[in-house]
Structure 1
């Protein structure tokens, strides 16, 4: 099976992770376990060894060595969940054959169009086949494409009898909410070193990781009738705006790159009681 064919199957599963789920709940959504079970079964059909899914939805397996000389155990890892920033249910994938470099109309009815002027990376994809959605959901290629690539590689190595050392494979939940590594069974995985197959350009190898922390800031003001508010009202919304304005304006995603850190306001809301 081709990698893209696997991807088209995996995106049928709604595996959106939930950042509001209690940390004691893993995976944070039931859909991730459904995909995990399907992947475990697929790996058994491929003849992989040591296939197991733990109670938290982590899936492990291995491809036994096929060479005479001892080799280090290489690990390949991908995550099953998708971002909560856009819907991941009822994904409708479509293949754009031989992309011509122009606009891609995702949804004519809703006027959703991908313009190369807005998505500069499209210039590198001219002539390729692209998999897109109808513009109302995520595709879920992050990181179901990684899963598809790993299992297609494993299948090819086994079928073509390419000499290789033992390969350990793991698929993890809740990466998008920063919990993917918390319950990872490193000793049981058994790799001497490993690669995460997730994102990046074709042929690109990233050897550093991104670190981030989040904070929820709650501002409580003092509510009073506007007619009697002079020198008494404490408007929590305005105080929140003032707080955000105190952060360095040049240290935001719009003005940073590379190893430059940034502050990113993800949501802001307020009301009056």
Structure 2
């Protein structure tokens, strides 16, 4: 039974953490992609050390790792709880002004600035938040609940376990990562040093979510080469690469295979950027599907359409590059069912109905699974990520803390 008199610390921690600007940069070649992420990470390592986790530290790459030592005589596999410190490059994370809206009574939430409205029609979970306290932005930035809510919840769960030594558990590993939002969150991670056998990312949305299946993902870069010349003397000579790219884009399916036309288990191809001039235009795509072999089908389609576009402009050429990103973690987690089963049991124990559904995206766990660390994703309560309308409910944060504690208990009892 969770201590009903416990004073949660996750909200106070969260309100402090969101004040750090930790936005990552998808154009950066450095690691982490922005040095400012390390400012929060360094402070988190110090907080963990002050809590009594003697090995807490931040490494040269900005990863924070720490261990809450086992207090049981049982041989319990070490488990890790993981969250990322960076926020999305899509919307500014500087000068965040969080607002706590107590006792939500339903309906839309109008933010103070920018004309932004958190619409109940677009956020169905709001209907389940009557009487809850909702944390939002003031409309000028994103909130950073993705994933600082997870960071705060892990910190609070560790605090609870420390202050309640009667709760038996094995080694609990804490890991905070940089650059998850730009797909590089596990690029430099030292799993041997982390020392976990299983893990959970705390980076999900609705209360009760356990996510054990993600998209498989590739990136595609297409370069169209034209021929430039002074426009005053261009007749019969110039080949404008921008027009080749435009012809290619126009040939893409209009009613399928794009994010705006797909849902559920449907995959997509998605152009994320175009940059060019008459001589060279570069297009970047992300390719997603739950069935890994379908990625090749989509990539073959893109290549065929690109070749057809080039054929319309004699003298032009193109380059086509596929970059593997991550694979559906279900392929690994199905071989380690206890990781998911224990999270389901923990939820049932604290009175939360588990929600099992695939993620139309990826987490650090997607890569960690294939690096040898089976890692499903559990809810943190974050909603409407990467936008000014991001929000999280205080009560969901409390439940996430309880879940982390209960998972640790289940692993000890089952060992």
Is the pair's TM-score, using the shorter chain for normalization, greater than 0.5? Answer: yes
Equivalent in the alignment of 1:237: 242
Change (3 A) 1:17 1:204: same
Name 2:162's counterpart in structure 1.
158
Displacement of 1:269 in angstroms is 4.8
What does residue range 182-221 of structure 1 map to in structure 2 within 5 Å?
182-221=187-226
Distance 1:224 1:175, change over 3 A: same
Give the whole-Å Cα distance in 1 for the aligned partners of 2:251 and 2:18: 41
- Bigger mean CA offset, 230-239 vs 193-202: 230-239
Assess, with a 3 A threshold, how the Cα gap between structure 1 residues 229 and 126 changes in structure 2: closer, same or farther.
farther
Aligned position for 2:12: 5
Distance 2:141 2:216 in 1: 27
Aligned partner of 1:148 in structure 2 is 152
Distance 1:223 1:125 in 2: 58
Structure 2 distance, partners of 1:120, 1:58, is 35
Distance 2:145 2:56 in 1: 24
* Offset at residue 68 of structure 1 (A): 2.6
Distance 1:117 1:174 in 2: 31
Residues 87 and 137 in structure 1, CA contact (< 8 A), matched pair in contact too: yes
1:268 aligned partner: 274
Q: Partner of 1:17 in structure 2?
A: 24
- Which residue pairs with 2:119 in the alignment? 115
Match of 1:255 in 2: 261
State the secondary structure of the residue aligned to 1:264.
strand
Q: Residues 200, 210 of structure 1: CA spacing in aligned structure 2 closer, same or farther, 3 A cutoff? A: farther
> What does residue range 32-181 of structure 1 map to in structure 2 within 5 Å?
32-108=37-113, 110-161=114-165, 162-181=167-186
Q: CA deviation at 1:21?
A: 1.1
Report deviation, 1:209. 3.1
2:400 corresponding residue in structure 1? none
CA RMSD, aligned part only?
Answer: 2.2
Tell me: CA distance 1:220–1:158, structure 2 relative to 1, closer, same or farther (3 Å).
same
Aligned length: 270
Deviates more, 1:240-249 or 1:63-72: 240-249
Check conservation: 1:107, 1:113, Cα contact below 8 A: no
Runs of 4+ in structure 1 off by over 6 angstroms are 224-230
The runs of 5 or more residues in structure 2 that have no matched partner are: 1-7, 280-415
Distance in 2, matches of 1:233 and 1:59, equals 54
Moved more, 251-260 or 48-57: 251-260
Report the TM-score when normalising by structure 1: 0.90
Partners in 2 of 1:206 and 1:165 — Cα distance? 24
Q: Distance in 2 between matches of 1:184 and 1:258?
A: 31
Alpha-carbon distance, 1:48 to partner: 1.4
Distance in 1 (alpha carbons) for counterparts of 2:207 and 2:111: 24
For structure 1, list consecutive stretches of 5 or more residues without a partner in the other structure: none
1:201-224 deviations in Å (ceiling 9; x for gaps): 212111123332333434344456
- CA-to-aligned-CA distance 1:122-164 (integer Å, 9 cap, x gap): 2233321111001121111111111111110111111112111
Q: Distance in 2 between matches of 1:42 and 1:209?
A: 32
Q: Is the 8 A contact 1:49 1:64 kept in 2?
A: no
Q: Is the 8 A contact 1:168 1:191 kept in 2?
A: yes
Which protein is richer in helix relative to its size?
Answer: 2
Q: State the SS of the aligned residue for 2:269.
A: coil
Does the 8 A contact of 1:18 with 1:28 survive in 2?
Answer: yes
- The alignment's TM-score, normalised by the length of structure 2, stands at 0.61
**C-alpha deviation, 1:248, in angstroms:** 3.3
- State the distance in 2 between where 1:217 and 1:86 align: 26
